[in-house]
Amino acid sequence: MLSNLTPQPADKIIELMKLFREDPRTAKVDLGVGVYKDATGHTPVMRAVKAAEKQLWEQETTKTYVALAGDPAFADAMRQLILGDAAPAARVAGAATPGGTGAVHMAFELAKMAKPDVRVRVSSPTWPNHLSILRHRGIAFAEYRYFHEATRGVDFDAMMADLADVGPGDLVLLHGCCHNPTGANLTEAQWGAVADLLERTGAVPMIDMAYQGFGDGLDADAYGTRLLAARLPEVLIAASCSKNFGVYRERTGLLLAIAADQATRDIAQGSMAHLNRQNFSFPPDHGARLVTMILNDPALRADWQAELEEVRLGMLGLRQSLADELRQRTNSDRFDFVARHRGMFSRLGATPEQVMAMRASHGIYMVGDSRINIAGLNATTVPILAEAIVKAGV
Nearest by Cα to 268 from 52, 146, 48, 91: 91
Question: Which of 111, 243, 259, 350 is the catalytic position?
Answer: 243
- Catalytic annotation present for 127: yes
Nearest by Cα to 181 from 218, 147, 219, 143: 147
Instruction: Determine how β-strand 204-209 pairs with β-strand 364-365.
Output: unpaired
Question: Which of 30, 52, 127, 222 is the catalytic position?
Answer: 127
Question: Which of 210, 239, 259, 386 is the catalytic position?
Answer: 210
Q: Which residues contact 109 (CB under 8 A, 6 or more apart)?
A: 137, 275
Question: Which amino acid type is present at position 311?
Answer: V
First to last CA, the chain: 49
Name residue 373's beta-bridge partners.
345
DSSP assignments along 285-343, one per residue:
-HHHHHHHHHHH-HHHHHHHHHHHHHHHHHHHHHHHHHHHHHHHHHTSSTTTHHHH--S
Instruction: Determine how β-strand 235-240 pairs with β-strand 29-30.
Output: unpaired
Instruction: Determine how β-strand 140-145 pairs with β-strand 119-124.
Output: parallel
Question: Which amino acid type is present at position 40?
Answer: T
9: three-class secondary structure by DSSP: coil
- Catalytic annotation present for 243: yes
Question: In degrees rounded to 5, what are phi and psi of residue 174?
Answer: -125, 150
Q: Residue 58's Cα: distance from chain center in Å?
A: 33
For the chain, strand residue ranges (E) read 29-30, 92-98, 119-124, 140-145, 147-148, 153-154, 171-175, 204-209, 235-240, 252-258, 345-347, 364-365, 371-373
Question: Which of 170, 208, 221, 285 is the catalytic position?
Answer: 208
Helix, strand, coil: what percent of the chain each, to 5? 50, 15, 35
Question: Can you give the C-alpha Rg of the chain in angstroms?
Answer: 21
Element (H, E) at 156: helix 156-162
Which residues belong to the active site? 127, 208, 210, 243
